[in-house]
Structure 1
Amino acid sequence: MLTKRRWTAAGAALAVLGGGVAVAQTATAGPAPRHCPTLHVTKGWYGDNRAKLQKMIDEQGSCSGSGGAKPVATFDWDNTVVKNDISDATLAWMLRNDKVLRPASWKATNKWMTHDAARALTKACGTSVPAGRPLPTSTDTGCTDEILDIYLDAKTSTGKKAFEGEWNARRTVPEYVWITQLFAGHSPARLTAYARAARAENLAAPIGTEQKVGTHTMEGYVRYYDQQRDLIGTLKKAGFDVYIVSASAEPLVRAWAPGVGIDRDHTIGIRNLVRDGKLTTGVQGCGDVKDTNGEVLTYIDGKRCWINQEIFHVKGAKAWQQQDPAHRPAFAAGDADTDVTFVGDATAGHLAINRNKTELMCRAYDNADHRWLVNPMFIEPKKRQADPYPCATTGYTRPDGTLGPLRRPDGSIVPDQQDRVHG
């Protein structure tokens, strides 16, 4: 059962993020005390987003004076807390520094890998390097290109499908699994050390830097968003329990999260199984799904499962279900369809960083509960998407991977949405 404080705070949040709906008149929380933690970064916040976030913090946080359990805040990582992708950055660094180990069998690295992809990798990377030893990817352009083609495009360099079979498209995607499986053979600590080296290199590179990896051009820089670092710090000062929930491998996130004050106990990412101190191609399961070959990741509905299991201690099949308000985050932030389920689960505020991702932006612009905020990317924001988001026809990714209409909790279809908050 919800405490009186949670009902009061939720009502106030409706007024804060919804711009004054009727329930706001019943909120009892008074003005926030002057000593409440305050957001300091003003640049980059769209419209009155900063003011609405501040009001939510004041109403939900410790300075509301209501006591009770700590409110939870959950953030995606890549392109939500930082600009660009730390998985891409780490893989690029490892390929340029000969840190990817040759597997005994490429086909065995991923349960969905096609024979065409395995043959292409074997041909491109050869068999002269013993299994378990580093591939010379800094100089072997063909090997590097084949790895990147399969990871980035899910196709071989000749355009053949790299993955096939069945998977739940709201729980996993083979290429997301495969990048973590490329890290197999290293210890978690060593992988974190590689991620730290990539972090130092990418933070030192000027904004806009690109890098050559094989013959591919990839982003060559990463930046913490000052606005998100400020938001996370303010939430923590206000008594929120703040977590990172990422679809990157957890050892990578551990290298970056301390930069915004998040420790390893508040970091959730893809967790590969460890045997004899080394990462394997197996992946930890969630809820009622046992340890797997990657059938369940921190991906779309999988992020909800991991939040429910690790933060709110909901076990078994129930972890896949939306919980009661007392067992859900108060606030959540994300930038992609990968994040839409857990961001939507938040009870007091949802922050969508606009990267033109259809399902997330359909939810955000529909704003069914009047608690969604949309903000352009803080660095190199996307321009306005000219065509409306096709919410009513192809806005929802079904478990089988096909697209259909996006629906509200009451079953009604979300109409197509114009892109209104952009760079």
Structure 2
Amino acid sequence: MRQHLAWILAAAATLAAAPGTTTTAPHTCPALSGTWYGDNRTHLQQVIDAYGTCSGHTGAVAAFDWDNTVTKNDVTDATLSWALRHDRLLRPARWKDTSAWLTDAADRALAAACGTGAPVPLRTSAHPRCTDEIVQIRENGTTMSGAPAFAGRWNHRHTVPQYAWVPQLFAGRTPAELASYARSARREALAAPIGATRTLGTHTVPAYVRYYDQQRDLIRTLHRAGFRVYVVSAGSEPVTEVWSRAVGVDAAHTIAIRSVLDHRGRITVANEGCGGVPASRGAVIPYIDGKRCWINQEVYGVQGARAWKRQPWKRRPALAAGDADTDVTFVQDATGAHVVINRNKPELMCRAYADADGRWLVNPMFLDPLPRRPEPYPCSTTAYTAPDGTHGPLRGTDGSPMPDQADTAY
């Protein structure tokens, strides 16, 4: 009860401190429904009540990761799966050109399995070796022989090459074409039974995707309460837009990897930059700190290097939701509720269970939740990923290593 009261007082104090905030006599706010873990629905309703227009406040933002936060399973992977089975990827002249970090070993493996030359459709439906190499690199960052597929230097809190590589595989196609593939993949994935899998080459991958009913209801309720709701994803933007539209989030409020287009309007291997970083072959995508950058830049208009920094509370989302370490920075920035879907990702779960401000809400996956992690999360030793890719202790606000955390919401 004391923590519950502290939550309400903290939200009220934050709102009262907002410059230019006006209040009117409160009236009934839209009510959240659905089954949530523990007291999560109650706490979410408090945030809706405190930050919504029903309490006289305007301009509140809610930001959601997409894959495995709003949906079960990854919609960009579902689109890649469909494209591989329908020969929609174009063969590059050189595989090395697709990524700034693709290794010679990966270039040789892809050339041997898929060929090179003129940009004709890859016959991946009939050549499982080619499909295998592409899926293996996407899933594991290695070739089928086990060699590293990516090497070199990149900021591990700004990008991950195998995520950036998926939009790069669609180079030569238009955003409209990619969106059409996503629509076909969406119909197929929503029709497949829950739990269904399929084989790509020799890989077994999920064949289904489902919207989480609870998240659809939360987004709908936030909209009714006057929130500006955004999606911020490390997937491909034309793909994510196809899926986000069904929960009432339009293209203008959907942020994902934005490919640079050539003079004919076709996707290239470059993507737009953020925070003063120019367009590149994947140096900056909406990934870990990159998600904060894109929210600050696209939602709040913060330009240049300042977009990488945590902003004052009035320029931060009231609610943010994610499921993986790629989401930890922008979810931590939220002022009212940090919503975490438990997929056992160490940096995010350490922050969530430490619950430094009393506003972290951990929820098991709404479909097929994971069992309890038997060992504590290694918060004090290896949970933090540094920009150079090394792992070390996650630190609290006082700079000391965070204690390891037990998994308690599963």
- 1:125 corresponding residue in structure 2: 114
- In structure 2, what is the Cα distance between the partners aligned to 1:176 and 1:375? 25
Query: In the aligned structure 2, how far is the partner of 1:364 from the partner of 1:32?
Result: 34
- 1:56 to partner: Cα distance: 1.1
- Find out whether 1:89 has 2:82 as its counterpart: no
Corresponding letter in the other structure for 1:60? Y
What pairs up with 1:205-216 in 2 under 5 angstroms?
205-216=192-203
Alignment of 1:382-421 (within 5 A): 382-421=370-409
Spell out the pairing of 1:311-350 with structure 2 (5 A cutoff). 311-350=299-338
Contact 1:329 1:345 in 2 (8 A): yes
- From 26, 33, 38, the equivalent of 1:40 is 33
Q: Distance in 1 between matches of 2:281 and 2:320?
A: 28
1:256-335 counterparts in 2 under 5 A?
Answer: 256-275=243-262, 276-335=264-323
Letter in 2 for 1:284: E
Q: Deviations over 1:391-414 (max 9, x none)?
A: 011110000000011012331221
Structure 1: where are the runs of 5+ without partners? 1-14
CA deviations 1:313-344 (Å, max 9, x no partner) are 00000000000001111110000000000000
Match of 2:227 among 228, 240, 250: 240
- Give a deviation string over 1:45-74, Cα, whole Å, max 9, x none: 101111110111001111112x3x410000
Percent of counterpart pairs with the same letter? 58
Question: Amino acid of the residue matched to residue 334 of structure 1?
Answer: G
User: Following superposition of structure 1 onto structure 2, how do residues 168-247 of structure 1 map, counting pairs within 5 Å?
Assistant: 168-247=155-234
Q: What is the TM-score with the length of structure 1 in the denominator?
A: 0.92
How far off its partner does 1:33 sit? 5.2
Residue-by-residue CA offset, 1:284-304 (whole Å, 9 max, x unaligned): 110111111111000000000
Deviation string 1:109-133 (CA, Å, 9 cap, x unpaired) is: 1110011100110001124xx5221
Q: For residues 23 and 189 of structure 1, do their structure 2 counterparts lie closer, same or farther at Cα, with a shift above 3 Å needed?
A: closer
Query: Letter of the aligned partner of 2:42 in structure 1?
Result: A
| SS of residue matched to 1:391 | coil
Q: What is the CA deviation profile of residues 179-228 of structure 1, one whole-angstrom value per residue up to 9, with x for unaligned ones? A: 11101111011101100100000000010000111221100000000000
Deviations 1:262-321 (A, max 9, x none): 000000000110012100000111011111111100000000000000000000000000
Cα distance in 2, alignment partners of residues 82 and 100 from structure 1: 25
Separation in 2, partners of 1:155, 1:40: 43
- Give the 3 Å change call, closer, same or farther, for CA 146–403 of structure 1 in structure 2: same
Distance in 2 between the 1:322 and 1:406 partners? 18
State the distance in 2 between where 1:235 and 1:24 align: 21
**Alpha-carbon offset, residue 22 of structure 1:** 8.6
TM-score by length of 2: 0.95
Which residue matches 1:70?
Answer: 59
Q: Aligned partners of 2:257, 2:11: CA distance in 1, in Å?
A: 42
* Residues 124, 48 of structure 1: alpha-carbon distance in 2 compared, 3 angstrom cutoff: same
Tell me which of 30, 52, 74 is aligned to 1:61: 52
1: CA distance, partners of 2:210 / 2:24: 35
Structure 1 counterpart of 2:234, one-letter code: A
Distance 1:400 1:156 in 2: 23
Calculate the aligned-residue CA RMSD, in Å: 1.8
Judge conservation of contact 2:91–2:115 (CA < 8 Å) in 1: no
Check the 8 A contact 1:32/1:58 in 2, yes or no.
no
Counterparts in 2 of 1:332 and 1:26: CA distance versus 1, 3 Å: closer
Q: Aligned in 2, Cα 1:409/1:219: closer, same or farther, shift over 3 Å?
A: same
1: CA distance between counterparts of 2:221 and 2:314?
22
